[in-house]
Structure 1
Amino acid sequence: MSPAAVSAALPAQVTLAEAGKTLMELKQALAQQSGPVVMLDAASLRVFDSSAVAILLELRRQLRAEGKTLQVSNWPRRLEDLMGLYGVGELLAP
């Protein structure tokens, strides 16, 4: 990882029940970062629904407004499939 990239991670579970808290925590963590590229590791993500996609889209929107780029690594295959189903795969492509 380059010095200009910062890293955060998705939790193991992101469903509607955790979405608000997860989004708030990730926004707070990312607000502390100054690098132009934010790396988000999805390796721990095991249980999720469409809320995970919504969170990723919101983080992308926020970071783009700040002139930053979101890069997600270690996508679960099911998350890629869900993004494709909703037609947002290209916006968040790995």
Structure 2
Amino acid sequence: MMQVPDRLTLANARAALAEGLSAIAAGQREFDLSPVTAVDSSAVALVLAWKRAARASGSELVIAHAPESLHSLAQLYGVAGLL
């Protein structure tokens, strides 16, 4: 099971993307973001990439307990409905 880091920022986006893609390939269908305390715009792209990868494998990825800051950024960029 993927351990989501407490920060989803540009500094760790590449590693988080790889870890998430591996978890999706292994069959994980829900990511719990409750540990996340800090995000930046790369977190929006990261979550969308995870969701695209799950969809490409024929399933949907559930993002649970996303922080309000992630929702706010997604609204700002006009992609809130995709999260």
TM-score (norm 2): 0.90
Higher helix share: 2
SS in 2 for 1:17: coil
Residue 58 of structure 1, CA deviation: 0.5
Indicate the residue corresponding to 1:23 in structure 2.
Answer: 17
Answering whether residue 23 of structure 2 is matched by residue 32 of structure 1, we say: no
Map 1:66-81 → 2, pairs under 5 A: 66-81=57-72
- Structure 1 residue 14, shift from structure 2 partner: 1.2
Is 1:82 aligned to residue 76 of structure 2? no
Consecutive unaligned residues of structure 1, counting only runs of 5 or more, are: 1-6
- Contact 1:14 / 1:22 at 8 angstroms: preserved in 2? yes
For 2:54, the equivalent position in structure 1 comes to 63
How many residues get paired? 83
CA contact (8 A) 1:8 1:30 kept: no
Q: Within 1, Cα distance between the matches of 2:60 and 2:3?
A: 15
Unaligned runs of 5+ in 2: none
Percent identity between matched residues is 37
4+ residue segments displaced more than 2 Å = 7-10
Q: C-alpha root-mean-square deviation of aligned residues, in Å? A: 1.4
Report deviation, 1:8: 3.8
Aligned-partner residue type, residue 13 of structure 2: A
In the other structure, the counterpart of 1:42 is 33
8 A Cα contact 2:9 2:38, kept in partner: yes
In structure 1, how many angstroms separate the alpha carbons of the residues matched to 2:49 and 2:80? 14
Larger-gyration structure (1/2): 1
